[in-house]
């Protein structure tokens, strides 16, 4: 199967699980632009890439940065597998529950354990997808480790769990679990 066919097959699988799933470009979304402004204020400019680099799931919609159509198909599948976890979480917790967990518990910024656990589950899927689609070397890439750990400790998600040692321990445990096939 070509990489493009792998992506098409994955999208079809996702639509079977979430029939209302759809992709929206952030550049064409007034809601995304409003969130971008709010995030710049809340993070003192630390999160400036919301519109240009980040993917966001709200309800059944996936909001994507520019260039989505040209993303390498395998990278797209890895991203979509992360986002599918958020769609499942929304189903599990309901939209209201997910909003409270994601945005408010225990704090919106600085210490956001609810958001950290939600993202942790999704980033574990990122690791699993990376291993399955790109192999062990990609899974163990130091650049990937740094990128993911800093999502938790830095401004991107409002310093959701700013304890680098803790996050690195989660990370290393997840990598060994994934490489053992769990
Ligand atoms: Zn996420």
pLDDT in tens, 73-126: 999 999 999 999 999 999 999 888 888 877 776 666 777 788 899 999 999 999
Ligand 1: centre distance to CA 121 (Å): 8
Ligand 1: centre distance to CA 77 (Å): 14
Q: What is the pTM of this model?
A: 0.89
Ligand 1: centre distance to CA 71 (Å): 18
Ligand 1: centre distance to CA 5 (Å): 24
Ligand 1: centre distance to CA 123 (Å): 7
Residue percentage of the chain with pLDDT more than 70: 97
Whether the predicted pLDDT of 156 surpasses 90:
no
Ligand 1: centre distance to CA 64 (Å): 12
Q: Are 125 and 175 in contact (CB under 8 A)?
A: no
Ligand 1: centre distance to CA 116 (Å): 9
pLDDT tens string 24-82: 999 999 988 988 888 888 888 888 888 988 898 888 899 999 999 899 999 999 999 99
Ligand 1: centre distance to CA 113 (Å): 14
User: How confident is residue 155, by pLDDT bands cut at 50, 70 and 90?
Assistant: confident
Ligand 1: centre distance to CA 2 (Å): 27
Ligand 1: centre distance to CA 161 (Å): 14
- Kindly calculate the radius of gyration of the chain based on its CA atoms and give it in whole angstroms: 16
Provide the pLDDT for residue 100.
80
Residue percentage of the chain with pLDDT more than 90: 62
Provide the pLDDT for residue 106.
65
Ligand 1: centre distance to CA 122 (Å): 6
Provide the pLDDT for residue 107.
65
């Amino acid at each position: 199967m070509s990489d493009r066919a792998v992506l098409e097959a994955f999208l079809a699988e996702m639509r079977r699980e979430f029939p209302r799933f759809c992709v929206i470009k952030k550049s064409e979304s007034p809601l995304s632009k409003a969130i971008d402004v709010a995030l710049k204020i809340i993070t003192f400019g630390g999160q400036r890439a919301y519109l240009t680099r980040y993917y966001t799931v709200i309800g059944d919609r996936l909001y994507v940065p520019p260039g989505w159509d040209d993303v390498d198909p395998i990278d797209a599948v890895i991203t979509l597998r992360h986002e599918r976890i958020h769609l499942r979480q929304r189903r599990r917790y309901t939209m209201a529950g997910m909003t409270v967990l994601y945005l408010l518990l225990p704090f919106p910024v600085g210490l956001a354990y609810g958001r950290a656990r939600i993202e942790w589950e999704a980033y574990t899927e990122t690791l699993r997808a990376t291993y399955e689609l790109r192999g062990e070397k990609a899974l163990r890439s130091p650049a990937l480790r740094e990128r993911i750990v800093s999502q938790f400790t830095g401004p991107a998600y409002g310093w959701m769990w700013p304890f680098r040692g803790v996050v690195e321990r989660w990370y290393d445990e997840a990598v060994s679990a994934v490489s053992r096939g769990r």
